[in-house]
Structure 1
Amino acid sequence: MINHTFPVLGRQIPVRVPQTVDDFRQFQRYVIDRANAGERVAYDTETTGLGTYTSGFRIRTAQFGTPEEAWVLQVEKGDDLQRLATWALRTLPALSMQNRNFDMLASDRHLPGITLEELAPKTVDTYIYTHLADPRRRDQGGVGNGLKDAAAHYVDPHAPDTQGGLIEEFHKIGHTKDTGWPHIDIDNPLYLSYAGGDVILTSRLLPKVEARVRELGINPSLIPFEHEVGFICALIERRGMRINREYTTRLSAELLEESARWAEEAKKYGVANVNSTKQLSEALLGMGEVIPERTDGGAVQVDGKVLKRLADVDKDWEPIESRTPNPLAMAVLRSKRASKWRSSYAEAMLRTADENDRVHPKISALAARTARMAIADPPFQQLPSGKFEVRHAVRADDGHRMISVDYSSVEPRVMAALSGDERMTAAILRGDDLHNLTAASVYGPDFTPGQRKVAKVVQLGVAYGGGAKTIAAQTGLTIQAAQAAVKGYKRTYPQLARYIRSLQAQVIRDGYTLRTPSGRRLVFDRDAAYASFNGEIQSTARDIFAQGLLEIHARGLTPHVLLPIHDEIVADAPEAQAAEVAREIGEAMSMSLRGIPLGTDPDVGGGSWGSLYMKKATTMIENDTWYAANPEEAAAAEARRK
């Protein structure tokens, strides 16, 4: 037996690393005793990285622990140790994990015989409790939801940082915090001590955060709710999404060329480096642009928001039509976007795809302050909603068609339900277009398409706590015109305006906290009470989406789902069943909130995710690359256009 220790609250807690047959029998006795006592045991893995399904990924150690003891199995050393870890996972009736989806999926993929379905029902996730207690990251003023931050707050502020502490060890062997995990010696004493420390801290953290959630009076039903949502997301992540490797490889090359081409265009205006804020700001000011935004250091701000305003496009790259687009701003935006798409999507898909050319995006079911989900590796959630190029890399399974089901204007409907605004509610029930109603109120019945787009920005801006200054920056309006638009919006929906003011006052009285309709606790910065309605909308919309995901699962439709993204379910199904599956998913997601119907828009496409967007923009058929990679869909799109 190799014995190490891990310090907690001034005591050295034993960390045991079995080596011999007798050692393994002692470990088995430890597991059986914990099982007989019905004791919950913490479980964790040390792996070669985060790419669970990538080539070369492996579990190096599997560790089990209670508050007073930890055992580390060096499963990398042989099949017998892997089988022993599987036996322990099956024998123990109750487990706890920090961020359980990663360890459950790694074990499902790389330990013989263990499955996600077997682990999930008996595992609680300490991350869920920490997020329910305080959803803020540490840099946002919160406790933080990672093991290091949560353990420092709830368990022992002086306990070692079990990841950060290994960086020096990585440096000794010529690696970084990102590259050292597969290379550090598996017998390294600090590595093994910290592996055991993770489960010791997790087992000590659980009762603390359980008590904190009870103390705060958080809706107890959110605990099983979040565990079930997380499990469904793990099932989806395990299935993954098939990519067209040939198309993706070509896309990567073309994005590299596109980035360079637009960078050359920027050079015509004196910007030799599109990433140089100094060159860019000087060139834009030289072109006569007025840029009031400043960085914390006082420099001219030329971030993406500013550039999109100058280029006259919204966050989804749709033209706003409020000014003449600045050609330099557009060139820089396009160059940077092509470069980002290449690294974050095309190259990421090629790098993370498994042996069957399936990518498995990591789905954080409970992520933002508001609990909204996040997608990483690749970050599909950040793709503009109307763009098809990257999405065409994702293919349905053979003989299947792609499906998209999203909510119909879910956020304005949630706004109406929460505020009780009668005019907004009546418009929704009549089926009116809310943006048209706002535009008519602000500009009169003969409003232009550009004014409708401004009205849309105003509606979202006011709801999300943005004032005239923010709206002017997003639309290119003058401050006076933005103020007039805001006044017109509030005149259109007076109850909504009163509700927002009342909610902000209530949040301040309650110590900058808010309870959402689901009982979730949101915490706001002391200078950000204005964001409270935005937080309530976002959080409520997320919980509606998560409830829809649960209903999809209850109907047995999860095997069709490829990705939950924003307010949309991306799925596929055999061609003969696709329309029916889309309809069933849409029905599962549909519900009502305080009398406001929350309907869906099911859509069936062709063989790629991008085909769903083909029907939304006929100009897309002009892309020759897409024609070459998707001839059958291109033909169908051309027929639809004609």
Structure 2
Amino acid sequence: MITLNHFVGGEVCVINVPECDADLTAFDSWLSQADRRLALDTETTGLDIYSRSHGLRLVQLGDRRTAWVLRADRFAQDIRRALRQPRTFVVHNAAYDLLVLDRHLGVAVEELGGKVFDTRILAHLLDPRTDSEGGIGLGLKPLSAVYVDPDAPDTQAGLTAVFRSLGLTKATGWARIPWDNETYLRYAGLDVLLGRRLFDEIAPMVRDIGLGNLSQFEHHLQVLLAVLQRRGMKLDVPYIETLRTELLAEAEQFEQVAARYGVANVNSTAQVAAALTAMGEELTERTAAGAPKVDKGVLLPLADLDLQWQRIEAREPNPLADAVIRSKRARKWSGSYAEAFLELRDDNDRLHASIGGLQARTARMSISHPPLQQLPSSDWRVRRAIIADPGQSIIAADYSAVEMRVLAALADVPKMKAAIAAGEDLHEFTAKLVLGDAWEPMAPGQRKRYRKLYKGVGFGKVYGGGAQTLARQTGADLGAVKAAIAAYDGVYPEIKRYSRRLMTRAEWGKREVITPSGRHLPLDRDRLYAATNYVVQSTARDLLAQAIVDVFDAGLGDHLLLPVHDELIAQAQAEDAEEVIREIGRVMESDFYGVRIESDASVYGPSWGHGYGATS
């Protein structure tokens, strides 16, 4: 038995590491007398759970003063037995460990998930801000430094130094460091000691501010999202291999176009800025260092493209700006998607993208490894790589203008609510409302431009962004955009009053907003204007989260594949696809403060891309 002493919170704690079966007698004795709630953690070879090289090395169990670090290859049966005891477990970022234990030890997510308390969820409910936003952050070590012991040694830094001394990197160290390295074992044992102590501090705080029910909901949702991640999605590998080649060729093609304008490196800000300036473009935005900005936000309008890569039709596209963004996008997609799909797929050619249930300040969900929510709707090529299982069709149900409906409900906007109830196109309705008698004689193209302008103004109320940003995205004159914003406030004065009320309460009370679900969202002192954005975005997220729970409760959870933005991607037998997605859409719908939250159900076909224009 390896025994290590460690100081936490001024107390001597013990980390025990069994080396042989005889050492487990002491572990069993401790387990029989231990608290009914233990901390749990795992150490693995890397973060990509379903990649072919991923492995489980250690499993740790512990209470406030004692940690046990068990080798997964040697003591797997004993670990399973401990996990299946009638007790609860404290885990930090539990979704990862639940899936690791499911894959490598066969302890199913459904079996263990209901017995887990996640300190990351609890911390997010208390303060969702990252350290860069003025919060503590959501990592175990920063949280423990505040709530448990500011003097706890930084074993992470020590472990990185050990990696270097062994000729390893952060990428290879987790898999290759000797399992009995003292720093590695201390790092492993400390996590459960800190995790249990952190839970004891913050769980009562969550309860005391009335967030017990929300905590229970988020823990349940986490298990369902882990089930979806484990299920994964089928990949069309031959198509992906071809796509990777085509995207690299596309990147090279547009790099050659850029080179004709004097840009040898499309990633060189200085080269791109100098060439655009020489072409007569005026670059008014600057970086923190004072250099001209040439990021996507600047280049898209110069190429006469909006955020969805659709023509704005406000100017002649600048060929260099167009070539730069297209070459960079093609190369990024080749690596971040095509290459990543091939690297991350499991032995059955399934992709298990990570689904983050609580991300960002507003708790919006995210998809990473790879970031599937960042794909524009105007290009189907990457989505075409994700296909239905044999005999099935990809189906989807997407909330219809959910953020605008939430805004109309929360701000109690009678005209907007009436338009929604009547089934009006809300953005067109707004344009007609503002323009009055001038609307009817307008040509279709002019109506389209005004609809787009007022859609942008409405989304500005939801996502933020001022007149300058909207002018850039729509190609409209800055003066016209400012006038449109003023007109919008004139026809929907309730929105401005609602926003002012939230800001005033935050300014003179606690600097936060509270959503209808009870979620507390801190506001920055110099960004109180974001109050409306936060409440609307967070509430839309909570509606989708509730829909996922409701779909499982309705017995339709086996069809779900992935939540993306305000959409649920699923699959069903081809002959039943229309009926299944219609039922999923029906379950998603609800009444929210007198406003109907509706969904649009679609049968995409053999791939996700077939819902976006793919034909083969």
TM-score w.r.t. structure 1 length?
0.93
Residue by residue over 1:424-466, the C-alpha shift from the partner in whole angstroms, topping out at 9 and shown as x without a partner, is 1111111111211233345541243223222211221244343
Match for residue 226 of structure 1?
A: 218
Q: 1:590, CA displacement in angstroms?
A: 0.6
Question: What does residue 374 of structure 1 align with?
Answer: 366
- 1:561-611 CA distance string (max 9 Å, x none): 111111111110111211111011111111111010011111012111111
Q: What's the counterpart of residue 579 of structure 1?
A: 578
Question: Quick check: 1:148–1:162 contact (8 Å CA) kept in 2?
Answer: no
Distance 2:312 2:156 in 1: 46
Corresponding pairs, count: 609
Q: 1:162 to 1:226 in 2, by over 3 A?
A: farther
Match of 1:358 among 346, 350, 354: 350
1:343 partner SS? helix
Who is 1:184 aligned against?
A: 177
Q: Which residue number corresponds to residue 408 of structure 1?
A: 400
The CA distance in 2 between the partners of 1:341 and 1:291, in whole Å, is 27
Give yes or no for contact 1:372–1:539 (8 Å, CA) kept in 2: yes
Q: What is the letter of the counterpart of residue 225 of structure 1?
A: F
Q: Distance in 2 between matches of 1:399 and 1:464?
A: 40
With 345-354 and 7-16 compared, the bigger mean Cα shift is at 7-16
SS at match of 1:211: helix
Aligned partner (choices 67, 82, 101) of residue 107 of structure 1? 101
1:245 alignment counterpart:
237
Q: Distance in 1 between matches of 2:85 and 2:489?
A: 61
SS of the counterpart of 1:181? helix
Deviations 1:226-277 (A, max 9, x none): 0111110000000000100000111111111111111111112211111000
| 2:100 match: secondary structure | helix
Match of 2:314 among 322, 340, 362: 322
* Aligned twin of 1:461: 460
After TM superposition, the structure 1 stretch with the greater mean CA deviation from structure 2, 575-584 or 65-74, is 575-584
Q: Which residue of 2 aligns with 1:274?
A: 266
Q: Show the counterpart of 1:29.
A: 29
C-alpha change, 1:437 and 1:290, in structure 2 (3 Å) is: farther
Counterpart for residue 166 of structure 1: 159
Tell me the alpha carbon deviations over residues 261-297 of structure 1, each in whole angstroms, 9 at most, x when there is no partner: 1111111221111100011111112222222211111
Structure 2 letter corresponding to 1:249: E
2:232 & 2:165 partners in 1: Cα distance?
Answer: 37
Kept after mapping to 1: 8 A contact 2:122/2:206? yes
CA distance in 1, matches of 2:567, 2:192: 36
Is structure 2 residue 266 aligned with structure 1 residue 298? no
Q: Which moved more, 1:98-107 or 1:176-185?
A: 176-185
Mind listing any 5+ residue stretches in structure 2 that lack a counterpart? Answer: none
Distance of 2:137 and 2:308 partners within structure 1: 31
Structure 1 alignment gaps of length 5 or more: 615-619, 621-632, 635-642
Q: Please state how far the C-alpha of 1:92 moved relative to its aligned partner.
A: 4.8
- Aligned: 1:90 with 2:87: no
Report what 1:20 is aligned to: 20
Q: 1:64·1:71 contact (CA, 8 Å) conserved in 2?
A: yes
Contact 2:461 2:532 (8 Å CA) reproduced: no
Q: Deviations over 1:321-345 (max 9, x none)?
A: 2222222111111111111111111
Alignment of 1:205-224 (within 5 A): 205-215=198-208, 217-224=209-216
Counterpart AA for 1:606:
G
Spell out the pairing of 1:416-495 with structure 2 (5 A cutoff).
416-442=408-434, 444-445=438-439, 446=442, 447-495=446-494
Look up the SS of the partner of 1:604 in the other structure.
Answer: strand
- Code of the residue aligned with 2:107 in structure 1: it is I
**What is the SS of the residue equivalent to 2:84?**
helix
2:54 corresponds to which residue?
57
Offset at 1:512?
A: 2.1
Distance 1:141 1:322 in 2: 40
Match of 1:396, as an amino acid? A
Contact 1:44/1:64, CA 8 A, preserved across alignment: yes
Look up the match of 2:246: 254
User: What do residues 21-40 of structure 1 show as CA deviations (whole Å, max 9, x unaligned)?
Assistant: 33111111212222xx5x20
2:427 match: secondary structure:
helix
Cα 1:286–1:438 change in 2 (3 A) is farther
Structure 1 range deviating more: 515-524 or 457-466: 457-466
**Partner-residue secondary structure (3-state), 1:424:** helix
Who is 2:562 aligned against? 563
Separation of aligned partners in 2, 1:321 and 1:511? 45
CA distance in 2, matches of 1:316, 1:91: 51
In 2, distance between residues paired with 1:158 and 1:383?
44
Output the amino acid matched with 1:40.
Answer: R
Q: How far apart, CA to CA, are the structure 1 residues paired with 2:536 and 2:316? A: 33
**How far is the alpha carbon of 1:220 from its aligned partner?**
2.1
**Per-residue deviation at 1:305?**
0.9
Structure 1 residues 210 and 478, CA gap change in structure 2 (3 angstroms): same
Rounded Cα–Cα distance in structure 2 between residues aligned with 1:544 and 1:162? 40
Rounded Cα–Cα distance in structure 2 between residues aligned with 1:320 and 1:499? 32
Q: Match for 2:528: what amino acid?
A: A
Contact 1:320/1:454 (<8 A) preserved: no
Distance 1:8 1:192 in 2: 15
Contact 1:371 1:539 in 2 (8 A): yes
Identity in percent: 45
On the 8 A contact 1:322/1:450 being kept in 2, the answer is: no
Q: Please, which moves more after superposition, 554-563 or 161-170?
A: 161-170
SS of aligned partner of 1:163? helix
2:49 is the alignment partner of 1:42 = no
Q: Distance in 2 between matches of 1:376 and 1:21?
A: 40
TM-score of the superposed pair, with normalisation by structure 2: 0.96
CA contact (8 A) 2:12 2:65 kept: no
Given that 2:355 and 2:367 are in contact with CA atoms closer than 8 Å, whether structure 1 keeps it comes out as yes
Tell me, in whole angstroms, the C-alpha distance in 2 between the residues paired with 1:162 and 1:404: 45
**Aligned match of 1:594:** 593
The answer as to whether partners of 1:310 and 1:476 remain within 8 angstroms in 2 is no
Partner Cα separation in structure 1 for residue 245 and residue 347 of structure 2? 22
1:399 alignment partner, one of 363, 385, 391: 391
Amino acid at match of 1:60: R
Partner residue, 1:197: 190
Contact 2:463-2:537 within 8 A present in 1 as well: no
Q: The residue matched to 2:495 in structure 1 has which SS?
A: helix
Residue by residue, what CA displacement relative to the aligned partner does 1:539-573 show, whole Å, maximum 9, x if unpaired?
00000000000100101111111111111111101
Match of 2:110 among 96, 117, 120: 117
User: Would the alpha carbon gap of residues 5 and 384 (structure 1) be closer, same or farther in structure 2, given more than 3 Å must change?
Assistant: farther
- The letter for the 2-side match of 1:75 is A
Matching residue within 280, 284, 293 for 2:276: 284
Aligned to 2:68: 71
Q: Aligned equivalents of 1:328 and 1:442: distance in 2?
A: 37
Contact 1:2 1:16 in 2 (8 A): yes
Contact 2:14 2:67 in 1 (8 A): yes
What residue identity is the alignment partner of 1:405? A
